[in-house]
């Protein structure tokens, strides 16, 4: 199998991680087309030792492409994903543009791979980064005991907001070191030494990100009855989202049962060290790695039969690039 692959948004933090992931996993491609906005004309990126020129993403750029990996924001996906699909490519899209479309499967391979097999529009959506790691950890529990209510609080890294956000965090750190004033432009407030909710407003006092977690979790797990109570926050971490998750099911579950379930589930590393300061999955260790790390799995002391856990993963890898490449592998390499 040898495929023509295009990356739309190749110069972004997710796009660059896609390039790296395809190279690391030795994805069987014959040629790679790197696409971005006109701002990136003249940029070259290296793949397997070869310098590739970035081209402008236009509808014509998809001729002959088998797999188009999109990570260039929702408006670019709305505009160009149908053109790529019409040209015969299978589109795997990282943006929010198509996720809640009934004719677009929203896929995490460990959870609902079957739905990816015949995408009616030729488009498959990659979920939001915080939802991916959450459902990888929740799906085995849902299968065993049917989820009733989850409460999730996120501690999300700056790279989740793209390359400009990472740059701003570094510049802010530098300004603090130089005792200079700093005016944030990407974040709505100082992020360094702070915790900030920085997503657009959704409805009913919730952010758009919180509503995505509710809707996407239910769509991927195929169960609209699950009550999902999210709070999303940005922390001054570069890469690696963390989540505190409280889980109640339709029957009592215990920490021991959940540890056993998750130990035997794909894509998960269970950290079952006893509580001690610092003895838990940390975003800094997750950066650059594939698994979803789950630790601090413990019985809830106030709600008998419920558990609490701490879920960490690299938002650029499992939360974006890796999940998309895994979908492509399942469709084209392992079919
Ligand atoms: N970061 C994460 O953790 C994460 C996780 C899951 C999903 N996502 C989603 O992935 C997408 C990309 O996010 P990112 O974090 O990688 O952002 P980013 O670092 O800001 O990169 C954005 C990319 O999109 C390209 N782009 C922007 N406008 C374009 C246009 N009109 N035509 C073609 N290309 C265009 C940019 O090209 P130029 O360099 O030429 O401007 C750049 O390559 C977003 O939809 C985001 O929601 C991100």
Classified as helix, coil or strand, 31 is strand
Does the CB atom of residue 320 touch ligand 1 within 6 A?
A: yes
CB distance 95 to ligand 1 below 6 Å: yes
pLDDT for position 55: 97
- pLDDT for 2 equals 80
Query: What value does the mean pLDDT take over residues 51-71?
Result: 98
Residue 249: active-site member: no
Nearest-atom number in ligand 1 for the CA of 316 is: 3
Q: Average model confidence (pLDDT) for the chain? A: 97
The model's confidence at residue 159, banded by pLDDT at 50, 70 and 90, is: very high
pLDDT at 109 over 80: yes
So what's the pLDDT on residue 286?
A: 98
What are the residues whose beta carbons fall under 8 Å from the beta carbon of 188, sequence distance 6 or more? 196, 198
* Catalytic member of 129, 142, 172, 249: 129
To the nearest 10°, report the CA torsion of 60, 63, 319, 251.
120
* Residue whose tokens read 């079957």: 114
Number of Cβ atoms within 10 Å of the Cβ of 60: 9
pLDDT(197) > 80: yes
Kindly tell me if the per-residue pLDDT of 248 is higher than 90: yes
Predicted confidence at residue 310, as pLDDT, reads 98
Distance between start and end Cα atoms, the chain: 11
Ligand 1 atom 39 nearest Cα? 11
Question: Bridge partners of 52?
Answer: 45
Distance 31 CA to ligand 1 centre (A): 22
Residues 163-191: tens digit of each pLDDT: 999 999 999 999 999 999 999 999 999 99
Residue 335: pLDDT above 80?
no
Choose between 226 and 2: higher pLDDT: 226
Ligand 1 centroid to residue 16 C-alpha, Å? 10
Whole-angstrom CA distances from 36 to 40, 54, 165 are 6, 7, 18
pLDDT surpasses 90 at 84: yes
Instruction: Write the pLDDT tens digit of every residue in 22-33.
Output: 999 999 999 999
pTM attached to this predicted model: 0.97
In what side-by-side order are the strands of the sheet with 44-47? Answer: 44-47, 50-56, 29-36, 3-8, 67-70, 90-93, 123-125
Q: Is 76 in the pocket of ligand 1 (CB under 6 A)?
A: yes
Interval 123-139 mean pLDDT: 98
Q: Mean pLDDT throughout 298-314?
A: 98
Question: Given this model, what pLDDT does residue 39 score?
Answer: 97
For residue 1, pLDDT over 80 is answered with: no
Q: Give the single-character DSSP code of 101.
A: -
Residue nearest to atom 14 of ligand 1 (CA): 162
Indicate if the pLDDT at residue 226 is higher than 70: yes
């Amino acid at each position: 199998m040898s495929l023509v692959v295009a990356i739309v948004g190749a110069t972004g933090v997710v796009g660059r991680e896609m390039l790296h992931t395809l190279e690391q996993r030795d994805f069987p491609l014959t040629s790679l087309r790197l696409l971005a906005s006109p701002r990136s004309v003249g940029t070259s990126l290296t793949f397997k030792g070869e310098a590739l020129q970035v081209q402008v993403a236009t509808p014509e750029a998809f001729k002959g492409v088998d797999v188009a990996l999109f990570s260039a924001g929702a408006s670019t996906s709305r505009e160009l994903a149908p053109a790529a699909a019409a040209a015969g490519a299978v589109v795997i899209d990282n943006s929010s543009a198509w996720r809640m479309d009934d004719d677009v499967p929203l896929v995490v391979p460990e959870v609902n791979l079957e739905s990816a097999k015949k995408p009616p529009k030729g488009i498959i959506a990659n979920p939001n980064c915080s939802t991916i790691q959450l459902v990888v950890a929740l799906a085995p529990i849902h299968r065993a005991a049917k989820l009733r209510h989850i409460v999730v609080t996120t501690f999300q890294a700056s790279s989740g907001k793209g390359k400009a956000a990472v740059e701003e965090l570094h510049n802010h750190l530098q300004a603090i070191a130089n005792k200079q004033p700093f005016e944030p432009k990407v974040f709505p407030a100082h992020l360094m030494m702070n915790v900030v909710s920085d997503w657009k407003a959704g409805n009913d006092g919730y952010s758009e990100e919180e509503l995505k977690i509710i809707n996407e979790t239910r769509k991927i797990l195929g169960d609209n009855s699950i009550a999902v109570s999210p709070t999303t926050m940005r922390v001054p971490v570069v890469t690696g989202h963390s989540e505190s998750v409280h889980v109640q099911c339709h029957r009592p579950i215990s920490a021991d049962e959940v540890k056993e379930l998750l130990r035997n589930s794909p894509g998960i590393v269970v950290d079952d060290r006893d509580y001690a300061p610092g003895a838990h999955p940390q975003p800094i260790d997750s950066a650059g790695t594939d698994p979803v790390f789950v630790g601090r799995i413990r019985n809830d002391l106030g709600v008998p039969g419920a558990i609490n856990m701490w879920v960490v993963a690299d938002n650029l890898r499992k939360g974006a690039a890796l999940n998309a490449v895994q979908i492509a592998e399942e469709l084209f390499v392992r079919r």
